[in-house]
Amino acid sequence: MQPIIECVPNFSEGVDLNIIKQITDQIETLDGVRLLNVDPGKATNRTVVTFVGNPVAVIEAAFLAIKKAGELIDMSKHKGEHPRMGATDVCPLIPIANISMEETAKYAQRLAERVGKELQIPVYLYEAAQPDKTRSNLSVIRAGEYEGFFKKIKQPEWKPDFGPAEFDAKRGGTVIGARDFLVAYNINLNTTSTRRANAIAFDVREAGRNIVVNGEKVNKPGTLKSVKAIGWYIEEYGVAQISMNLTNINTVPVHIAFDEVCKKADARGIRVTGSELVGLVPLKSLTDAGKYFLQKQKRSAGVSEKELIKIAVRSMGLDELGPFKPEERVIEYLLKNKADSKLVNMTLTDFADETASESPAPGGGSISAYVGALGVSLATMVANLSSHKKGWDDRWEEFSQWAEKGEQYKNELVKLVDADTKAFNQIMTAFGLPKSTDEEKVARSKAIQEATLFAIEIPLKVMEISYDSMEVIKAMAEIGNPNSVSDAGVGALCARSAVMGAFMNVRINASGYDDKIFIAEVLNRGREIENKTIALEAEILKIIDGKLGN
């Protein structure tokens, strides 16, 4: 797989949409780059742009955007709440897939050198791209902002890494670097006081505040690691905010930052009314937040991804200042190929119609995967019902864990619905390749074998997951809400059908694969799973028959 990096330049224009579009149009001219999000802010007079792609294309797109921003934005006239020092204020590169931070830093250095040399803009490196760690912190580099840049750039210790050591009144300076994924997050307060907002920001940010102890100034750290924060007043909304950068969301995720600000605000007589995410967010940040708030309520966290996101949005008030649309704000959703989930995004009627049509796909493999998903979904439902059953309050966590496990199995099987049809289509494509020359025949034969192997592996995976999911089904038959025991029974029937149906697909596809030793191993594995499934289904049905008693 090719390496993928993300670029999140911040441009000092958040009001004039025409200027913003001219800048983002430059990004979209490049093949190999995908523009994911454009998030302008009027009060900050700043736009955060997010795009991804292969490294070479990304740094070319970034260069063109920086060039255009320098042409269109006049920093001598710029005013905004957010700290800034240039038309393109900051331009970080973030490793996303199949590339290291060290490699990403080299691309940032290459971009910075080109911007300094060709555009004659003063450029500073930061974070992983900056070899001198005494000047790698963005807030330190940007201290004094645009207004103080004229004097700062003349100081020997603040000579730019690239470009002229001359103050550019129109374009200012630019900071380019490489860093881990960062979440920009603002928390809204029921006050208009910047001073009080700053006090809360100092309470929580890692840098904390300086205090006097026994006549000496000492630093008192804040309560949250890997968090930068300031307070400001947003005239557009008429509220003060805590503006935060969460620089390590594994250490301090969004929901922990939100809750901690709530505690510190409450201690100062201030109430948090909601919050807003700036730019994009990883899916895990929202699903983890949804689980966190459900667990605080002692509710089952084994619910769908969509429901977890809804809980997160409501709990943190992410839609207070405007609609929060996950399909536009979650990075995984924006990167997702819609063709990979064509079937599962259909209505039930459309899916049935597509299956019944003259097209050979979706076929038995996709149907087996979906039947397996339905089976474990029933068990997950029983777990959720049991978690919330009156009188079983002390067992909510036990059933929540079963429900979460069921959700994981369900999600894996749902993905395999489209994967099986994709596997079939790859076989058909391979058979359609030209075979006029010896070279074409060899290439076609290789493609057929590769596609056939994929078509064997997918239904085998359906078998394995469907069988594994029966642990949840059996547990719910044994300990779940007795009023829903029949649902667990239907889940067992579905799981058995999924395993047996998928094995038929393994067998029919195996006949076209040349490696007979491998095929013998696969068929033995398939028969083993099938036999264990039938035996486990019998155990579950015996439990259910005993509970039904008629």
Calculate mean pLDDT across residues 84-108.
Answer: 93
Could you tell me if 127 and 217 are in contact, meaning their C-beta atoms sit under 8 angstroms apart? Answer: no
What's 183-239 look like in SS3?
Answer: EEEEEEECCCCHHHHHHHHHHHCCCCEEEEECCEEEEECCCCCCEEEEEEEECCCCE
Provide the whole-model pTM.
0.80
Q: What is the mean pLDDT of the chain?
A: 94
CA distance linking residue 367 with residue 459, whole number of Å: 10
Cβ–Cβ under 8 Å, residues 417 and 343: yes
CB neighbour class for 72 (10 Å; exposed up to 12, middle 13-18, buried from 19): middle
Confidence of residue 517 (pLDDT cuts 50, 70, 90): very high
Catalytic residue among 39, 161, 203, 420: 420
Residue 478 confidence (pLDDT) above 90: yes
Mean pLDDT of all residues in 136-155: 91
Q: Which of 82, 161, 255, 288 is catalytic?
A: 82
CATH topology of domain 4-178: Formiminotransferase-cyclodeaminase; Chain B, domain 1 (3.30.990)
Q: What is the mean pLDDT of residues 152-178?
A: 93
Q: Does the pLDDT value for residue 1 go beyond 70?
A: no
**Mean pLDDT, to the nearest integer, of 34-59?**
92
| pLDDT reported for residue 527 | 97
CA-CA distance, 230 to 142, in Å (whole number)?
14
Q: Report the C-alpha gap between 179 and 371 in whole angstroms.
A: 43
Average of per-residue pLDDT across 300-314: 96
Q: What percent of the chain has pLDDT over 90?
A: 84
Residue 405, number of CB atoms within 10 A of its CB: 20
Strands 227-234 and 183-189 turn out to be unpaired
Other CB atoms within 10 Å distance of the CB of residue 521: 11
| pLDDT at residue 164 tops 90 | yes
Q: 3-state class of 434 per DSSP? A: coil
Q: What is the location of CATH 3.30.70.670 in the chain? A: 183-335
Q: Taking residues 521-535, what's their average pLDDT? A: 97
Where in the sequence of the chain do the CATH 1.20.120.680 domains occur? 338-548
Cα(377)–Cα(407) distance, rounded to whole angstroms?
7
**Torsion (CA) 322, 327, 330, 333 in degrees, nearest 10:** -170
The CATH label, of 3.30.530.80, 3.10.28.10, 3.20.20.60, 1.20.120.680, for the domain at 338-548 is: 1.20.120.680
Topology, domain 183-335: Alpha-Beta Plaits (3.30.70)
Q: Angle of helix 254-267 relative to helix 305-316, nearest 10 degrees?
A: 20
Domain limits, CATH 3.30.990.10, in the chain? 4-178
The H or E element that residue 32 is part of is none
Which pLDDT does position 2 carry in this prediction?
Answer: 80
- At 335 the pLDDT is 78
pLDDT score of 197 more than 80 = yes
Instruction: Tell me the per-residue pLDDT of 353-402, one tens digit each, with 9 for 90 and over.
Output: 999 999 888 999 999 999 999 999 999 999 999 999 999 989 999 999 99
Is 420 one of the annotated active-site residues of the chain?
yes
